[in-house]
Amino acid sequence: MADRDGVDAIIEQWRRERPEIDHAPIGVVGRISRLAREIEARLEAVYREHGLEPGWHDVLATLRRTGPPYQLRPSDFTGSLMLTSSGATKRLDRLERAGLVERTPDPDDRRGVIITLTEAGHELIDRVTEAHMANEARLLEGLTPAERDRLAALLRKLGLSLPPLP
């Protein structure tokens, strides 16, 4: 494994050009940003191998994790998936056309609907989840179990400490 990465070069350039500024945050934020894109590309490859379009995995996995009867209201997706209402609707429309989810009237709200994972969606997400977890394990092979635990704890701490968006 190389001792230096592209972020090291960026920090060196800023140190040369703007030595009066603290460049240390680039070492963390720059790497998180780059890793997020790299990891996402590697996750999406597994999803594509199983016939999932971008964004479908999150919806199917969210429904599957809820447990029987694998149902949620559309508003539950907008918060957990960080989607706008129209973004969630478009994604759900495509999943419904693919036969992976179905929408039914909400018995508790005559204007609302309930999204339910279909049997085909259930079978697909169970297959994808096995491949997805194996893929994530491969992506983390460069870290020891103790390092993974420490990194997870630090990332949790960082995420919880972020100021709210305006």
Q: What is the mean pLDDT of residues 139-163?
A: 96
Q: Do residues 95 and 72 lie in contact, with contact meaning Cβ atoms separated by under 8 Å?
A: no
Q: What does the alpha-carbon distance between residue 84 and residue 75 come to, in Å, rounded to a whole number?
A: 9
Structure tokens at 156: 């949790």
Annotate the chain with three-state secondary structure. Answer: CCCCCHHHHHHHHHHHHCCCCCCHHHHHHHHHHHHHHHHHHHHHHHHHHCCCCCCHHHHHHHHHHCCCCCEECHHHHHHHCCCCHHHHHHHHHHHHHCCCEEEEEECCEEEEEEEEECHHHHHHHHHHHHHHHHHHHHHCCCCCHHHHHHHHHHHHHHHHHCCCCC
Q: Is the pLDDT of residue 81 over 80?
A: no
Q: Is the pLDDT of residue 157 over 60?
A: yes
Q: What is the pLDDT of residue 84?
A: 76
Q: Is the pLDDT of residue 1 over 60?
A: no
Residue 67 identity (one-letter amino acid): G
Percent of the chain with pLDDT over 90: 78
pLDDT tens, position by position, 47-78 = 999 999 888 999 999 999 999 999 998 878 77
Q: What is the mean pLDDT of residues 83-104?
A: 89
The CATH number of 53-159 is 1.10.10.10
Domain range list for the chain: 53-159
Q: Do residues 71 and 114 lie in contact, with contact meaning Cβ atoms separated by under 8 Å?
A: yes
Stated pTM of the model: 0.82
Q: What is the mean pLDDT of residues 133-149?
A: 97
